[in-house]
Structure 1
Amino acid sequence: MAGKRSGQGRDQVRVVSYNIRKGLGLDRRRDPLRILRVLGEVDADVVALQEADRRFGLRESVLPQILMDNHSDYEAVPLDVQTDSMGWHGNAILVRRGIAVEAHDIIHIPCLEPRGVVTARLSVRGQSLAVFGMHLDLSGLWRRRQARVIADLAAAASETNATVLMGDLNEWRARAGTFREFKRHFSVLDCGPSFHAARPLGRLDRIMHCDRLKALDCGVHRSALAARASDHLPVWADFAL
């Protein structure tokens, strides 16, 4: 389970990255409400989702708006890309209601298969936070190219804002070029193994941050519900504001 925040989170921000596998659980049931209940367990302020939209057709959101309104404390950052989608290439950012979205954008990255990055600048308890959400390529060569582009763009954002990057990096190797690219500008947290949810071995899901943020704690959210909801477990991190 995710750890409790001291001071009820007044001087902290909790972020989460979660590949929700289009809402398809290990029991082969597509259950968006179960995903929202897992997010309720983790109790984050900002969430980066991967595989948040259907892959084909209209690519509609996996999490229907009516469920978001009635069964969660979150709103999706409006990316203005497709009317039926929550994200872009499956990437989405959710924020707890009351957190202001000051700006948002999508980023095109070099890719072998359709990939993209979503970003938003948020006002969290009066402080500005830049967030980047991503799902990188299965190819190691393309992952490193993508990491280089994302790291440079995020480094520019970190000159004026506290900056956090989150997502499914699809990287199994701790010494891979993907991490070398990000580590030029950011600290990479090791939250723990989050894939496969049935038997976590791979540290595919990562959270990274600039030196404007102090990491207080991080980990993998493990619960009976999370172990069935997707093939990934959520990873989380707490930062001091």
Structure 2
Amino acid sequence: MLVATYNAHRGRGARGAFRPERIARVIAEIGPDLIALQEAQHYLRPSREMLDEEWLEREAGLRPLQVTHRPGEQGWRSNIVLLRPDARVLRPPMGLRIGGMEPRGAILAELDLGWGPFRLLATHLSLGASRRRRQAEALLAAMASGAGGRLPTLLMGDFNEWRPGASALGLLEPVFGVPPRAPTFPAFHPFLSLDRIMGHPAGLVPGVEVHDTPLARMASDHLPLKARIDAALLAPR
């Protein structure tokens, strides 16, 4: 199972032009079974959809996971999860408020893409270290809630944190381990590992890879991060 996370920078490339079709083409390049997007809403019109859903389903084989069902809102607080149309949604997904001065949030979902059930937490953390730590506490609490606490868990998104052991990462590492270094920012010369794909139990995410192509360097200020999930750990026991 191929998953990815991508900060879409509100559809603006390195030169600031609003070109969301480039984001969609990068997603099609990756060809994931599931991708979590951050900053994925129209820059000037927040109530307007940024992504062409018909194009995505036709060219990338993906559709948005409906969270709020409000017109024009493809996700939650500019977080969007795209997944294959045949994916099973095991419980209604939730938009989580995780605090912070910026309108940050997370999407919590229980899914099965054909390999077995798992829990997804897709998020975008704040710029301040103390706020990121509180947000990580909220994510761990959400992970432990209900029957989903027993499910394998994928945590992915833009963490705005590049220092192992610091802030949010320090709190998450006892559960998810130390994420490998994979520089995704800035797209034109990446040296900061701001984007993460982490898994529980250990071994669920054997490794990650930056999707670095000419189109990806133009489409956003972040490069996408992708990972092959060990589907054997998702199989029902």
Q: 2:173 aligns with which of 146, 169, 183?
A: 183
Residue 117 (structure 1) aligned to one of 106, 110, 123:
106
Q: Say which is worse superposed, 23-32 or 124-133, in terms of deviation.
A: 23-32
Kindly indicate whether the alpha-carbon contact (under 8 Å) linking 2:36 and 2:81 is maintained by their aligned counterparts in 1.
yes
- Within 1, Cα distance between the matches of 2:27 and 2:178? 23
State the secondary structure of the residue aligned to 2:118: strand
CA deviations 1:104-126 (Å, max 9, x no partner) are 11111121221111111111215
Deviation by residue 1:184-241 (Cα, 9 ceiling, x = unmatched): 3223432510000001011000111101753333111110110101000000111111
Of 62, 74, 80, 2:62 maps to 74
Alignment pair present for 1:210 and 2:183: no
Equivalent positions of 1:1-241 (< 5 A) are 13-54=1-42, 57-80=45-68, 82-103=70-91, 104-156=93-145, 159-190=149-180, 192-211=182-201, 214-241=204-231
1:144 alignment partner AA: R
Helix, strand or coil for the counterpart of 2:205?
A: strand
Letter of the structure 1 residue corresponding to residue 134 of structure 2: R
Paired amino acid for 1:200: P
Superposed CA RMSD:
1.9
**Is 1:191–1:219's contact at 8 Å kept on the other side of the alignment?**
no
Which stretches of structure 1, 4 residues or more, deviate above 6 A after TM superposition? Answer: none
CA 1:158–1:237: 2 relative to 1, 3 Å: farther
1-structure distance, mates of 2:57, 2:226: 23
TM-score (norm 2): 0.89
**Matched residues, percent identical?**
32
What is the rounded CA distance, in whole Å, between the counterparts of 1:124 and 1:191 in structure 2?
27
Greater share of residues in strand: 1
3-state SS, counterpart of residue 175 of structure 2: coil
Partner of 1:6: none
SS at match of 1:184: helix
Which range is displaced more, 63-72 or 21-30? 63-72
Unaligned stretches of 5+ in structure 2?
A: 232-237
Q: TM-score normalized by structure 1?
A: 0.88
Give, as a single letter, the amino acid of the residue that structure 2 aligns with 1:130: R
Aligned pair count?
229
